[in-house]
């Protein structure tokens, strides 16, 4: 194989790629080419240093990032070469658990089901119903607490030992019952993939040694996003060789709410005193202006390592900062500007993203895009594999692979309807428990139960017979062939035809069949387990599409790892961004500031930020104040568009006062009477009996229904009906 050329690496990147073995920390700022460094380092180890690919393991957080790394490494190491192991954390753990299934304990085998969020909640609800605890917390709280416990590597016993009150002890008890239920189902939830992998490697030295050999050179991407259990897994795998290379940026640590611990990257030198540190500070993505604005924001954080990004890119356009009177104004501006960019051929729809802090913001933005007939899609909404008809069919496949999966069995027997209801499901569960058999096998014995109607028992027996036949053929069959058989024998197509939206649902089923056929073409027959695992581990970033010509809408938390020529960040207001939940904690404010930094650095050429003077959210309209993050940006980097005023320069940093008057007011005659049309023009000064003096910001309607938005000096923005408001025009 020819020598690997490093000419397209900058000096800092080249130094990191060529660093010798041992612990390495690569601090990679936004857009600094961290994936390039990781892939070049892997390729260099294989091509130049003779490291066996079978001893290299690289882990990251998204399927998109893992796929990109695999593709790059394959191109660099040559076709046909053995590939290093590049995977997400959860996929890697699923593989470890399947390979070591004999060590998982009673109830588990390598065909275990990976539960999605909906299935997890179904199991929790069933456990709560059966436990009948006096101080039983709501299922949502239980789910959140169990996720937290698994992120912190706590078993049920450890959670119970740390319980501070009766509620926590109840959660620990439910945790134990929940895990027992999963074992009986041969199922593991998302967090359990990580926790059970850690526990298995911790408790079985021989297994640990096998996987330490497989990870003799361990590379971890996005290390700032690791939680406690991931940190412990990495420590275990790297303990023997010491060859640990972590890449990350504490300025992009934005997942504390789901367990990520920024201390993992900040304390790396403490954990590994002989670590070498490299900084990647040259940005290849954004303009100088965007980078300077983002850097001005993040420099206000204390919990970070000193670094400052720079770029050789052009200065580019100023950051556009728009303020609307209401969220509808903001959305209309965003839609109008997107239409202008597309019309001027300055951007394609797929080049544009709109970020927001909370999902509830998307509705009004969607409405504005629809009005202008701008194509869009929402990232992080209902996933394809969460569509009802898709989950119904997947339930059949899960039971074929794992007959103990009671949750999938319950879904399967109900679609299409067969008259099998809650009473029959309970009977199946009772038989399974009594005879110590999987729920699927128990379904085949219903005819022996006197309390089950013969008609229903026969329907269940018929389903059992042909599903068992498919189970016997699964090891040699393709996924597409199994799905075809399920659809034909179950009557699923007729079931969809009877639905009002059946045509759309049949299109989704056709898409699933196409995906299964493509999978079979790549993997051959017998890949059902891998197909189901791939579906279970799909994440939000896998919904990103760039080829179908649509604007992307997503929360800022979904933005990691992405970049767009044009980015909008909507709702930059105190209480929304930074979020109200962060207001009492400086640490939480710093996380919100990192989230702002991440959003800003997704933009390559144009960045827009926007807010409103008044926003309705969750049914309540409130006054809005500009986000403190806007005040941290140098005004010279901003092009300001204020309410009703058009573009104008920002002469000072945004005020933190509730409202700022950016309109040149023209005094109206103070005649002491009711104002006319001219006297209520935008910019006119008026007096209200209760709210005092203010400025008219906007007019709506005419005649009896006429309304005005008035920004009062003391009371803030108010919407008033002119007929009843008793406004007086006054001199300024």
Give the catalytic positions in this structure.
Answer: 34-35, 221-222, 252, 602
Closest CA to 516 of 482, 476, 473, 472: 482
Instruction: Work out whether the CA dihedral 433, 439, 441, 445 comes out positive or negative.
Output: positive
Chain position carrying tokens 């979904």: 558
For 668-696, letters b (16+ CB in 10 Å) and e give beeeeeebeeebbebbbbbbbeebebbbb
d(CA 538, CA 560): 16
Q: Bridge partners of 356? A: 555
**Rounded to the nearest 5 degrees, what angle is found at the Cα of 228, between the Cα atoms of 157 and 267?**
140
Query: What does the alpha-carbon distance between residue 77 and residue 640 come to, in Å, rounded to a whole number?
Result: 50
CA dihedral 234, 235, 237, 240 (to 10 degrees): 150
Peptide bond into 393 cis (omega under 30): no
In sequence order, which residues have a C-beta less than 8 Å from that of residue 491 and are 6 or more positions away? 416
C-beta of residue 432 within 8 angstroms of C-beta of residue 439: yes
The DSSP output letter for 204 is: -
Kindly provide the b/e burial profile for residues 206-233, where b requires at least 16 CB atoms within 10 angstroms of the residue's own CB: ebbeebbebbbbbbbbbbbbbbbbbbbb
- Rounded to whole angstroms, the Cα distance separating 350 from 246 reads 32
Cα–Cα dist 683/686, whole Å: 9
Q: β-strands 352-356, 564-569: how paired?
A: parallel
- Is the backbone of residue 569 left (phi > 0), alpha (psi -120 to 50) or beta? beta
* Pair of tokens at residue 316: 């580019």
Strand partners, 568: 354, 608
Residue 60's nearest CA partner among 190, 230, 265 is 230
* DSSP structure class, residue 282: B
636: DSSP letter: G
> Do 185 and 26 contact (CB within 8 A), yes or no?
no
The residues, any chain, with a CB within 8 Å of residue 676's CB and separated by 6 or more, are: none
The two tokens of residue 72 are 């790059």
């Amino acid at each position: 194989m020819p020598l690997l050329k490093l000419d397209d690496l900058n000096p800092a990147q080249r130094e990191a790629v060529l660093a010798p073995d041992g612990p390495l920390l690569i601090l990679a700022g936004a857009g600094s080419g961290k994936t390039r460094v990781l892939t070049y380092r892997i390729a260099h180890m294989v091509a130049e240093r003779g490291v066996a690919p079978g001893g290299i393991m690289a882990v990251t957080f998204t399927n998109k990032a893992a796929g990109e790394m695999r593709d790059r490494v394959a191109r660099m190491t040559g076709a046909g070469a053995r590939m290093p192991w590049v995977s997400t954390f959860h996929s890697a753990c699923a593989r470890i658990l399947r390979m070591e299934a004999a060590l998982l304990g009673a109830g588990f085998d390598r065909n275990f089901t990976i539960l999605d969020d909906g299935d997890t909640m179904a199991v929790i609800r069933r456990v709560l119903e059966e436990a009948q605890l006096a101080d039983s917390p709501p299922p949502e709280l239980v789910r959140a607490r169990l996720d937290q416990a698994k992120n912190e590597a706590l078993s049920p016993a450890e959670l119970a030992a740390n319980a501070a009150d009766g509620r926590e002890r109840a959660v620990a008890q439910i945790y134990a019952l929940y895990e027992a239920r999963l074992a009986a189902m041969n199922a593991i939830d998302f967090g359990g993939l990580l926790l059970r992998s850690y526990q298995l490697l911790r408790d079985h030295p021989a297994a640990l040694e096998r996987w330490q050999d497989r990870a003799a050179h361990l590379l971890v991407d996005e290390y700032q996003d690791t939680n406690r259990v991931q940190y412990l897994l990495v420590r275990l795998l790297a303990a023997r060789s010491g060859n640990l290379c972590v890449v990350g940026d504490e300025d992009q640590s934005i997942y504390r709410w789901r367990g990520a611990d920024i201390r993992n990257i900040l304390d790396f030198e403490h954990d590994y005193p002989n670590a070498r540190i490299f900084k990647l500070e040259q940005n290849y993505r954004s303009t100088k202006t965007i980078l300077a604005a983002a850097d001005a924001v993040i420099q206000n954080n204390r919990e970070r390592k000193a670094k400052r990004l720079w770029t050789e890119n052009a200065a580019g356009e100023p950051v556009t900062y728009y303020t609307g009177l209401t969220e509808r104004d903001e959305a209309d501006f965003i839609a109008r500007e997107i239409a202008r960019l597309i019309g001027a051929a300055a951007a394609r729809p797929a080049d544009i993203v709109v970020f927001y802090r909370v999902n509830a913001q998307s509705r009004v933005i969607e409405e504005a895009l629809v009005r202008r007939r701008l194509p869009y899609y929402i990232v992080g909404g209902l996933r394809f594999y969460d569509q009802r008809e898709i989950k119904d069919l997947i339930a059949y496949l899960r039971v074929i692979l794992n007959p103990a999966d009671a949750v999938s069995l319950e879904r399967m027997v109900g679609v299409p309807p067969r008259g099998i209801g809650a009473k029959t499901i309970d009977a199946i569960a009772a038989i399974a428990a009594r005879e110590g058999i999987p729920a699927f096998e128990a379904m085949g014995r219903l005819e022996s139960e006197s309390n089950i109607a013969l008609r229903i028992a026969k329907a269940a027996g018929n389903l059992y017979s042909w599903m068992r036949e498919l189970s016997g053929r699964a090891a040699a069959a393709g996924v597409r062939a199994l799905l075809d058989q399920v659809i034909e024998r179950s009557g699923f197509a007729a079931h969809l035809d009877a639905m009002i939206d059946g045509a759309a649902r049949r299109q989704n089923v056709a898409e699933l069949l196409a995906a299964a056929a493509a999978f079979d073409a790549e993997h051959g027959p017998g890949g059902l387990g891998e197909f189901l695992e791939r579906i279970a581990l799909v994440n939000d970033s896998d919904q990103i599409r760039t080829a179908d010509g649509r604007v992307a809408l997503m929360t800022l938390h979904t933005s990691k790892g992405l970049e767009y020529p044009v980015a909008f960040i909507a709702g930059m207001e105190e209480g929304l961004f930074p979020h109200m939940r962060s207001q009492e904690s400086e640490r939480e404010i710093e996380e919100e500031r990192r989230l702002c930094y991440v959003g800003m650095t997704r933009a390559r050429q144009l960045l827009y930020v926007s807010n409103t003077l008044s926003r309705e959210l969750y049914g309540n309209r409130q006054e809005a104040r500009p986000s403190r993050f806007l005040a941290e940006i140098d005004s010279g980097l901003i092009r300001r568009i204020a309410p009703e005023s058009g573009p104008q320069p920002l002469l000072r940093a945004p005020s933190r006062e509730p409202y700022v008057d950016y309109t040149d007011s023209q005094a109206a005659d103070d005649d002491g009477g009711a104002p006319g049309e001219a006297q209520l023009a935008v910019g006119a000064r008026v007096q209200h009996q209760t709210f005092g003096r203010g400025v008219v910001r906007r007019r709506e309607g005419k005649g009896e229904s006429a309304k005005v938005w008035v920004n009062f000096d003391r009371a803030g923005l108010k919407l008033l009906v002119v007929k009843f408001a008793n406004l007086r025009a006054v001199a300024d």
